[in-house]
Amino acid sequence: MEIFKFGGASVQDAPSVRNVLQVLKFTGFDDKVIVVSAMGKMTNALEIVISKYLQSLSIPSEEISAVKNYHLKIAGELFENSHHPVFDSIAVLFSELENFMEHNKSTQYDFVYDQIVSFGELLSSAILSEFLKDNGISHTLLDARNLIKTNSTYRDATVNWEQTQENVLNQLRPGKLYLTQGFIGADANNFTTTLGREGSDYTAAIIAYCINADKVVIWKDVPGVLNADPRAFENPELLKQISYEEAIELAFFGASVIHPKTLQPLQRKEIPLYVKSFIDPQGEGTTVRKGQPLNPEIPCFIIKKDQVLISLSTLDFSFMVEENISEIFRLFHQYQMKVDLIQNSAISFAVCVDNRFNNLEKLIQHLKARFKVTYVPGVSLYTIRHFNETALKTLEKDKDILLKQVMQNTVQLVSRN
């Protein structure tokens, strides 16, 4: 079987949904699992719903209406019949969403986040499923929460691989076409969990691992894996083939095309990953597989914005030894900080972190009990893999560089925005 993942940009409006059908016509419909993300920027829109809801624990009608109207507009353009079953499906999902908000007693942000934000994927898959049916495409719509079982770490759940594999093997049959949601799963109590932002790629890899898929194809609005984000750098180049190891390095440093956790299960079973353009499905794209060299070995530029640079030293100017560093990392784990860069000397320790769970202030207060702390929020972290002097000089130009770290084939810069 082949696993196809379509992200938010590939289903952001009615023409995009129609294009998914064209891609499938080009590739064939049989023996596939389609994994679909929320439409467009719906995850962001639902995060606003969550924020408004938690302020008062009442339904934010205006924000809910905006989300509903977005999906109704797409459905209205795809289905001429105003009484089409798709509108009942949409109504049921919004009824479930509002029912949760009316009866929920929890104010725990991560739990509420997963229960609400998951409706983006549920709505997207419901609309795409009805569109495929209308075009005579026989398939089975599966609820990913019945497939992927996880622990209860909301917003960043860990997969229960044994139970997930059993579920996947029981519900999928070779030769058929299936559609399911990316990003979401369920814990032992059947509460919805999510796999981390951009986790739909990971969903595709999980299913591929469980069924020993022939390949995974991630359909994007770019030609494949580029050596730089076209939104931040001019004239990026296509990386036609890279190894799992190189792709994991790029993902770790923040390349946005492939989710960091996606590659690990694929590598374990040597399942090739293809990153292709849904705009040009005949295009070459990028192949990620075992032993593929980065060819040619050109510099790869990565930028992570809105990072925090934290500098620490001991209160008594003693050395930053293992005991200190162990305590620092314990706190990073406690406050769910992703560390993207580390630099230390005898009496200082600097890190660049991603404050994705908004726990920075709590962390800083805790650190101040034991260390002298300075921090700069809102910095940008630049990484160049396979750097050369020309690439480095180009990147450094006109930047206020707060920290620089050079390794054998990678350089990282922290710059004030």
**pLDDT confidence tier of residue 198, bands split at 50, 70 and 90:** confident
Instruction: State whether 180 and 314 are in the same domain.
Output: no
How high is the pLDDT of residue 248? 87
Q: Domain for residue 256, yes or no? A: no
Q: Domain for residue 233, yes or no? A: no
The amino acid that residue 264 corresponds to is: Q
Distance CA 88, CA 93 (A): 9
Lateral strand order in the sheet of 215-220: 140-141, 177-181, 32-36, 2-6, 215-220, 273-277, 286-289, 241-243
Q: Domain for residue 200, yes or no? A: yes
Q: Domain for residue 137, yes or no? A: yes
pLDDT of 295 higher than 70 = no
How high is the pLDDT of residue 78? 98
Q: What does DSSP assign to residue 170?
A: H
Instruction: State whether 216 and 324 are in the same domain.
Output: no
Last residue of a domain, one of 193, 220, 247: 220
pLDDT of 296 higher than 90 = no
How high is the pLDDT of residue 293? 63
Last residue of a domain, one of 165, 200, 220: 220
**pLDDT confidence tier of residue 255, bands split at 50, 70 and 90:** confident
Integer CA distances (angstroms), 53 to 64, 104, 178, 189, 399, in order: 10, 11, 34, 23, 40
How high is the pLDDT of residue 294? 56
What's the rounded mean pLDDT across residues 16-22? 98
Distance CA 211, CA 221 (A): 27
Instruction: State whether 204 and 311 are in the same domain.
Output: no
What's the rounded mean pLDDT across residues 72-96? 97
Q: What is the pLDDT of residues 315-329, one digit of tens each?
A: 998 999 999 999 999
Distance CA 125, CA 89 (A): 11
Instruction: State whether 10 and 107 are in the same domain.
Output: yes
pLDDT of 292 higher than 90 = no
Instruction: State whether 318 and 211 are in the same domain.
Output: no
Q: Domain for residue 74, yes or no? A: yes
Binding positions for substrate: 43, 121
CATH number for the domain that contains residue 95: 3.40.1160.10
Q: What is the pLDDT of residues 269-281, one digit of tens each?
A: 999 999 999 999 9
Q: Which domain holds residue 197?
A: 2-220
404 phi/psi in degrees, rounded to 5: -140, 135
Q: Domain for residue 263, yes or no? A: no
Distance CA 30, CA 22 (A): 14
Strands 273-277 and 286-289: antiparallel
Using DSSP's 3-state secondary structure scheme, residue 233 falls into coil
Peptide bond into 296 cis (omega under 30): yes
Helices 161-171 and 200-211, interaxial angle, to 10°?
A: 70
Instruction: State whether 132 and 6 are in the same domain.
Output: yes
Percentage of the chain surpassing pLDDT 90? 89
First to last CA, the chain: 46
Instruction: State whether 209 and 346 are in the same domain.
Output: no
If you count them, how many residues does the chain have? 417
What's the rounded mean pLDDT across residues 100-111? 96
Q: Domain for residue 255, yes or no? A: no
Binding positions: 5-8, 43, 121, 231
Chain centre distance of CA 388? 30
User: How many domains, the chain?
Assistant: 2
The amino acid that residue 307 corresponds to is: Q
How high is the pLDDT of residue 402? 97
Last residue of a domain, one of 220, 236, 251: 220
CATH number for the domain that contains residue 356: 3.30.2130.10
Instruction: State whether 305 and 215 are in the same domain.
Output: no
| 397, two tokens | 């130009």
Single pTM value for the model: 0.85
Binding positions for ATP: 5-8, 231
Instruction: State whether 172 and 318 are in the same domain.
Output: no
Q: What is the pLDDT of residues 47-70, one digit of tens each?
A: 999 999 999 999 999 999 999 999
Instruction: State whether 152 and 28 are in the same domain.
Output: yes
Instruction: State whether 412 and 314 are in the same domain.
Output: yes
Name the β-bridge partners of 402: none
